Amino acid sequence: MLRRRFVNLVAQNSDGVYSLRRIEAAKHLFYPSIKEAEESANDEKKKYKTLRRLPDPITSFDPSPVGVLFPGLEWFELLAPRSGEGQIVSSNKAGDTVMFDADKSLYLTLPNLYQAKGTSPVSFSVTHPGSGQDSLYVLHRYPGQAVAQARFLPDRSEYPPSCFEVLEYRALSNDVRDPIKGWDWRLLPPPPFVRQPGYRPSMINSHTTIKDANGCTTICISSDKIGTYCFDTWCFDSTHHLGWKHLDVWKQVGEWELPFYGRAEHVPELGIWLGFTAGRKPHHLCAVDLSTMDMDGQAPTWQHVWDNATLPGEKNWYPLLFRLINMGDNRFCVAKLFGDDEMGKQFAVLTGVEMERGQDGLRMVQHKRTRYVFNDIAVKDQLNLSQSLLGKAAESSDSGAASGLRSPSRVEEMMGRLRLTEVEAQPIVLDDAEEDDLVPPE
């Protein structure tokens, strides 16, 4: 995977409009090499720096849905990896969706979702052989709750409620050979456990994707007291006129849960899935092997855990939100939102790390660490663990604020306002000498 250039930040302004900003990874997160990162490890002045102000916005989003009691944007997702730097999909609470191409500075109006997917849905970008574009699978974080809800859009009320849909670029008619193609949503079957007698809606705690040797993608989710289920998206089929076909089949692989919190990133070059440890906070960075999960039916366990590797070290800071972004070439951005009760402030901390497998096994090398301090405005947060990086906070002009939630179970109660969204990019060399917008920590 090519190295990515940006970490994106989506902030809600005081007027309710959302702005998209970009933080340069090569300038704020990574040294040019592991050697330089290791040489800087013991330099106190280089441990982390404070981002004094956010970069200028490159575009804005106005949610403004009609007929919705509480307007706002529910999620931003990145189409990757084939879509490269640009294509970011967003949806408001009415299910209206739009795509912004950051490379071309263009907007594309998309068809509405059949049903809004709630705050912070689980999402996956999947590559199909029959399309030059990636497909975006979006699943409600509380699947059973979505199935039970009434529809938001009266003009789409003839469709059955669904917690699971996929955005695909395909022929717009029933004839797959139709040269006229476009984006459209397709309903998918919900996880089978939502139809079981006595089921009560529960949160999806962890999720990831697995690719087989042929490149076919399987989506995996875990929910408390439910276990782990996998969804096969497609497979090759020589008898099909396209040479492949959709599967759209769920199966349970175990009554246990995946051993990480939120989303895990597959790193095929290293043969691992990288994520955060499940259980109590602070949720340390960990590596897991899921390659044999479906074959032996055994619960996977942590292979490596890096305790406090990406924690700032301040005694009064407590973690609120987490997100891991695959930046390509075995590099990752660890994004965490912290609170400080004594100061009454919240801090977004972005840490660049690089994974390397040597003679002594897998090791993690920490690069740069950058923090952004929000002001004293009190704002509630919501968890967003999709293909986008996410914490949420309010922003007014060039300053913002966030206060976090301490329990994932309160996610549906929260109104969030800051999202950090990952973006893929082509390799690029940046001038790292321009540091006038960075200051050492106080």
Q: Is 352:365 a contact under the CB 8 Å cutoff? A: no
Written as six digits, the tokens of 263 are: 């989303």
Closest by CA to 109, choosing from 188, 19, 171, 183, is 183
Cis bond before residue 81 (omega within 30° of 0): yes
Question: Percentage of the chain surpassing pLDDT 70?
Answer: 72
Cis peptide leading into residue 191 (ω within 30°): no
Encode burial over 115-141: b for 16+ CB neighbours within 10 A, e otherwise. Answer: bbbbbbbbbbbbbbebeebbbbbbbbb
Least confident of 20-24, 47-51, 197-201, 234-238: 47-51
Q: 151-200, pLDDT tens digit by residue? A: 444 454 455 678 999 999 887 766 656 667 889 999 999 999 988 888 88
pLDDT band at 1 (very low <50, low <70, confident <90, very high): low
Task: Report which of residues 10 and 404 the model is more confident about.
Answer: 10
User: What gap in Å lies between CA 36 and CA 48, rounded to an integer?
Assistant: 15
Residue 405 is inside which H or E element, if any?
Answer: none
419 contacts 391 by C-beta, under 8 angstroms: yes
Which CATH number describes the domain made up of 6-427? Answer: 2.130.10
pLDDT at 399: 33
pTM: 0.80
Least confident of 40-49, 119-128, 187-196: 40-49
Q: Could you tell me what percentage of the chain is helix, strand and coil, using 3-state DSSP and rounding each to the nearest 5? A: 10, 45, 50
Q: What is the pLDDT of residue 427?
A: 27
Mean pLDDT, rounded, for 296-313: 77
Higher pLDDT, 297 or 437: 297
Across 199-215, average pLDDT = 90
What's the maximum distance between 2 C-alpha atoms anywhere in the chain? 66
How would you list the strands of the sheet with 49-51, edge to edge?
Answer: 317-328, 331-340, 345-358, 361-373, 49-51, 438-439
Question: What pLDDT does residue 40 have?
Answer: 85
Residue of 335, 333, 346, 343 whose CA lies nearest to 405: 346
Task: Indicate the residue type of 246.
Answer: H
**3 has a pLDDT exceeding 70:** yes
Residue by residue, DSSP assigns 86-118 as T-EEEEETT--EEEEETTTTEEEE-PPPSS---
| Mean pLDDT, residues 351-360 taken together | 90
**378 three-state secondary structure:** coil
* Every domain of the chain and the residues it spans: 6-427
Indicate if the alpha-carbon torsion angle 20, 75, 87, 153 is positive or negative: negative
Q: Which residue has the higher pLDDT, 89 or 47?
A: 89
Kindly state the average pLDDT of the residues 202-211: 94
- Tokens representing 14? 């005081």
Residues contacting 385, CB < 8 A, separation 6+: 120, 122, 207, 262, 263, 322, 323
The band of 138, judged by pLDDT with boundaries at 50, 70 and 90, is very high
List C-alpha distances in Å: 147 to 151, 190, 193, 252. 10, 8, 12, 19
Q: Is the pLDDT of residue 441 over 70?
A: no
pLDDT of residue 132: 76
The pLDDT score that the predictor gives to residue 119 is 82
Q: Please state the rounded mean pLDDT for residues 374-400.
A: 34
Look-up of token digits 């329990």: 407
From CA 1, how far away is CA 289, in angstroms rounded?
19
- pLDDT score for 312: 62
The answer on pLDDT for 416 being more than 60 is no
Confidence band, pLDDT 50/70/90 cuts, at residue 413 = very low
- Mean pLDDT for the chain? 76
Summarised one tens digit per residue, pLDDT across range 259-293 is 999 999 999 889 999 999 998 777 889 999 998 78
The full DSSP string for 227-290 is EEEEEEEEEE-TTSTTSEEEEEEEEEEESS--SEEEEEEEETTTTEEEEEESSSTT--EEEE--
Place 411 in a pLDDT band, splitting at 50, 70 and 90. very low
Yes or no: say if 19 and 344 are a contact pair by the CB < 8 Å rule.
no
9 bridge partner residues = 21, 420
Residue 345 pLDDT > 90: no
| 11 vs 309, residue with greater confidence | 11
DSSP-derived letter for residue 192 is: G
Exposed, middle or buried, 71 (CB in 10 Å: 0-12/13-18/19+)?
Answer: middle
